[in-house]
Amino acid sequence: MQQFLPLALGLIMFSFLITGILVVPFIDLLYKIKFTRRVEAPKTGKVPLFDKLHDKKAGTPVGGGVLIIAVVSLLFAFVFPISRHLGVFIQTAYSLRVELFVIFFTFISFGLLGLLDDYKKMLGKPTRGVLGLAFGLSRSTKFVLQWILALTVSLIIYFALGIQILHIPILGITLHLGLWYIPFSAFVIVAFTNAFNITDGLDGLASGLLMICLMVFGVIAANNIDTPLSLFIALWIGSLIAFLYFNTYPARIWLGDTGALSFGATLAVIGLLTGNLIALLIIGGIFVIEIASSVIQILGWKILKRPIFKLAPLHHTFLAIGWEEPKIVMRAWLAGIILAIFGLWLATI
């Protein structure tokens, strides 16, 4: 730990510096290629409440996820071999190659799926949707592709890494799921992918919550002496901090689905690799609450034929009733910090 901590802190600062240098010209590039949010409200008829709240942000560049994924992946490919040659103690409970493959396959493949969706949203032709214009991949197509990727990751985790247990802290129960671990872990990955995606609706909200989660999982990974995962998280935190400077209200750049799908899925995989899935549900509790509010809203429409919330997910309800966007984000961060502390406590007992 004494050897690793200075390295991890140094990597956070190094990644922050590199991303900070690249982000402004990257924003300029996105403006140049017109990779920006478009007005989504229909040109005629009633304007949906969601579009009234968000179409004022049209023109903001989308693609921060591309920059972060590229910087973190390239820096890891550069730093990790050097660290080993310099004598840094590399330890993991799993096969090193397989663990790194799982991490970066998730990080990059879900990012590519999000990039395809972003490309169709920004540069493709819109279609007529239920509540106005629809942009990007259809929900069904995106959902099926998410499940294919998630099942692929889950199969590797189960067969190549041998993970198939679910530990429930406090109760001291450890469940051996066997083959059922594959669909279970795939569900967790898909759920967190979509939870992060729907949370990424206000400037700085999802990115700030993710930074809090990663700091906690950095501690957990270091405590587990999982060196590659710890280094990956350190680089990710540094890049995310630099991005967040430009993503806070009013945002100059957004993650887009490239970052949202990648980061949600990778956060779930980190929870699975560290064996702290229950803690993940607490540490990432705001993401869980956000997707739960959307599910409740859907059930309200289907069963009661009316909405439960003014607008879903939950942060949109607060926005719709008049809360200022920065206030919603700051209070979500504070709640996220408390949940993260509680989740870390669960992971250590």
Task: Note whether residue 68 is domain-resident.
Answer: yes
Question: How far is it, in rounded angstroms, from Cα 147 to Cα 189?
Answer: 9
Structure tokens at 146: 């998410």
Task: Note whether residue 248 is domain-resident.
Answer: yes
Rounded to the nearest 10 degrees, what angle do helices 205-223 and 285-299 cross at? 130
Q: Are strands 132-134 and 165-168 parallel, antiparallel or unpaired?
A: unpaired
Q: Is 194 annotated as a binding residue?
A: no
Using one digit for the tens of pLDDT, what is the confidence trace for 225-252?
899 999 999 999 999 999 999 999 999 9
Half-sphere exposure of 233 (CA within 13 A, CB side): 27
pTM of model > 0.85: yes
Using one digit for the tens of pLDDT, what is the confidence trace for 124-181?
776 665 555 566 788 899 999 999 999 999 999 999 999 999 988 888 888 999 999 9
Task: Note whether residue 342 is domain-resident.
Answer: no
Question: How far is it, in rounded angstroms, from Cα 54 to Cα 52?
Answer: 6
Q: Is 51 annotated as a binding residue?
A: no
Cβ-proximal residues to 202 (8 Å cutoff; 6+ apart), any chain = 249, 315, 319, 325, 328, 329
Q: pLDDT confidence of 52, banded at 50, 70, 90?
A: low
User: Domain range holding 246?
Assistant: 4-272
User: Who has greater pLDDT, 55 or 311?
Assistant: 311
Task: Note whether residue 319 is domain-resident.
Answer: no
Give backbone dihedrals phi and psi of 168, rounded to 5 degrees, phi first: -110, 105
Structure tokens at 23: 């982000």
- Give me the number of domains the chain comprises: 1
pLDDT at 274 over 60: yes
pLDDT at 334 over 60: yes
Rg (CA), the chain: 20
